[in-house]
Amino acid sequence: MEEWVGLKWHDYVTRQAMGEFPEYAVHLKDEARTLGVLFRAMGGDPALSLVTAEPRHVQIRRRFLQKLAGTHRKFELAWRDDESLRLPDKLALFPSKKVNRELYLWLAALASLGEIHHHSWLHGNQAMVQALLARWPGLESMYQRLVRHTLHWRPHPDSLRGHEAERETAIRQALIHPGSVRDLPEALTDPWPVVLWLYPVLGRGKLKGQIIGDDNTLSKSGGLTKKRKRRRAERVDAFDKDQGLMLFRLENLFSWSEFIPVDRAGDDSDEDDANAVADDMDMISVSQDRREASSAIKFDLDLPSEEHDDLPLGPGIHLPEWDWRPQDYREKFCCLQPLLSKEAGAAVLPEHLKRPAQTLRRQFSALKPLRQWERRQREGEELDLDACLERVVQHRRGLGEADQKLFRQCKQNQRDLACLVLTDVSLSTDTYINNHQRVIDIARDGLQLLSEALTASRDPFALFAFSSRRRDHIRFHHIKGFNEPYNDTTRGRIQALEPGYYTRMGAAIRQSIKLLEARPEHQKILLLLTDGKPNDLDLYEGRYGVEDTRMAVQEAHKAGLTPFCVTIDEEANEYLPYVFGSSNFVVIKDPVQLPGQLPKLYMNLTR
The whole-number pLDDT of residue 237 equals: 52
* Architecture of the CATH domain 319-365+415-606: 3-Layer(aba) Sandwich (3.40)
The whole-number pLDDT of residue 298 equals: 40
Q: Are 459 and 419 in contact (CB under 8 A)?
A: yes
The whole-number pLDDT of residue 208 equals: 31
Identify the DSSP state of 189. S
Q: List 334's β-bridge partners, or say none.
A: 319
The whole-number pLDDT of residue 303 equals: 55
Sequence ranges of the chain with CATH classification 3.40.50.410: 319-365+415-606
What is the C-alpha to C-alpha distance for residues 368 and 414, in angstroms, rounded to an integer?
8
In terms of C-beta distances under 8 Å and separation of at least 24 residues, what long-range contacts does 72-77 make, across chains too? 72/17, 75/193, 76/52, 77/53, 77/193, 77/195, 77/199
Contacts of 140 (CB under 8 A, 6+ apart): 133
For residue 392, how many C-alpha atoms fall within 13 Å in the half-sphere facing its CB? 5
Contacts of 513 (CB under 8 A, 6+ apart): 526, 552, 555, 556, 559, 561
For residue 367, give the 3-state DSSP assignment: helix
Question: Taking the chain (607 residues) in consecutive chunks of 10 residues, what is each chunk's mean pLDDT?
Answer: 71 68 91 90 87 86 73 86 89 93 95 88 94 94 95 90 91 94 89 92 47 37 51 50 43 44 46 56 53 41 63 92 93 94 89 93 76 76 84 78 75 77 94 86 95 92 95 95 94 93 95 95 94 90 92 96 92 87 90 91 86
Strands 561-567 and 523-530, sheet pairing: parallel
Q: What angle do CA 156, 157, 159 make, to 5 degrees?
A: 70
For residue 530, give the 3-state DSSP assignment: strand
Q: Are 31 and 101 in contact (CB under 8 A)?
A: yes
Q: Give pTM, 2 decimals.
A: 0.70
What is the C-alpha to C-alpha distance for residues 394 and 403, in angstroms, rounded to an integer?
9
Q: Are 546 and 534 in contact (CB under 8 A)?
A: yes
Exposure pattern of 539-572 as b/e (b: 16+ CB <10 Å)?
ebbbbbbbbbbbbbbebbeeeebbbbbbbbbebb
At position 288, the amino acid (one-letter code) is Q
Could you give the C-alpha distances from 244 to 13, 238, 347, 523, in angstroms and in order? 35, 12, 55, 64
The whole-number pLDDT of residue 202 equals: 75
The whole-number pLDDT of residue 309 equals: 78
The whole-number pLDDT of residue 300 equals: 43
What is the C-alpha to C-alpha distance for residues 217 and 534, in angstroms, rounded to an integer?
10
What is the C-alpha to C-alpha distance for residues 112 and 44, in angstroms, rounded to an integer?
4
What is the C-alpha to C-alpha distance for residues 573 and 569, in angstroms, rounded to an integer?
9
Could you give the C-alpha distances from 359 to 216, 353, 354, 449, in angstroms and in order? 42, 10, 9, 10
Q: Are 425 and 496 in contact (CB under 8 A)?
A: no
The whole-number pLDDT of residue 214 equals: 37
The whole-number pLDDT of residue 9 equals: 65
Contacts of 190 (CB under 8 A, 6+ apart): 58, 59, 60
At position 558, the amino acid (one-letter code) is K
The whole-number pLDDT of residue 489 equals: 94
